[in-house]
Amino acid sequence: MKLSVIIPVINEEKNLKELLLLFPKDINSGLLEVIVVDGGSTDRSKEVVEKAGFRFLESPIRGRASQMNLGAKVAKGDVLYFVHADVRILPTFMNEIRACLEEGFPVGCFAYDFDSTMKLLKVNAWFTQFNGLLSGGGDQTLFIRMDVFWELGGFDETYCLMEDFELVRRIKKKYNFKVIQKRILVSARKYEKNSWFRVQVANLIVFGLFFLNHPPSKLKVLYSRLLK
């Protein structure tokens, strides 16, 4: 297995400094590559990535779906692993993904905990262990065989929000999906900027409209109004 890690970013200098330290220092074995795809950062993201020795791409289109598709187009691995900059992966992530593939699952994600002691977030995190209607969001870090990704057409770039759930919805119609129970760590910054209740209400509204096939552009505008 050769794994291509794709990280879409916009002004994630601080998080990149921490995340990139978690990848093996020597990736010259050909088993791993890390590609950071930028959507127009004005901070020092490029300098951080290049100093760490990883590949930095500038996307002509701003948006996670477009950025991740661009990363997949240049990737050389046979498995893609999409990671958000504010997530902290497991040291054993390659072994976990390889074991999952060997079990016959061509696609999956990880359960997670939040980097917060807030009790209500522990409840949210508990649900991420299940393969349900709302599993497979970007915070759970999605891995998928390259051939399966392109067979499905990659991310739908008309989705400026919920692009991860839209892809997973298509995946589950055709392939077995696995949630790895070993937990990664996810930032609680969205909850800290707003509140647990406010984020829950926003998610409930947007998810409901998503499953009713509401236009993605309108979902994005609504979500931006509901949260800081």
Show me where the domains of the chain are located. Answer: 3-188, 194-228
Of the candidates 152, 159, 106, 105, the residue with the CA atom closest to the CA atom of residue 137: 159
Helix 196-211 and helix 216-226, axial crossing angle in degrees, nearest 10: 170
| 213 backbone φψ class: left, alpha, beta (φ>0; ψ -120 to 50) | left
CATH of 3-188, one of 3.20.20.80, 3.30.830.10, 3.10.20.30, 3.90.550.10: 3.90.550.10
Phi, psi of 31 (to 5 degrees): -90, -15
Strands 32-38 and 55-58: parallel
Q: How far apart are CA 76 and CA 207, in angstroms?
A: 34
pTM for this prediction: 0.96
pLDDT (tens place) for every residue of the chain, 228 residues total? 999 999 999 999 999 999 999 998 666 567 899 999 999 999 999 999 999 999 999 999 999 999 999 999 999 999 999 999 999 999 999 999 999 999 999 999 999 999 999 999 999 999 999 999 889 999 999 999 999 999 999 999 999 999 999 999 999 999 999 999 999 999 999 999 999 999 999 999 999 999 999 999 999 999 999 998
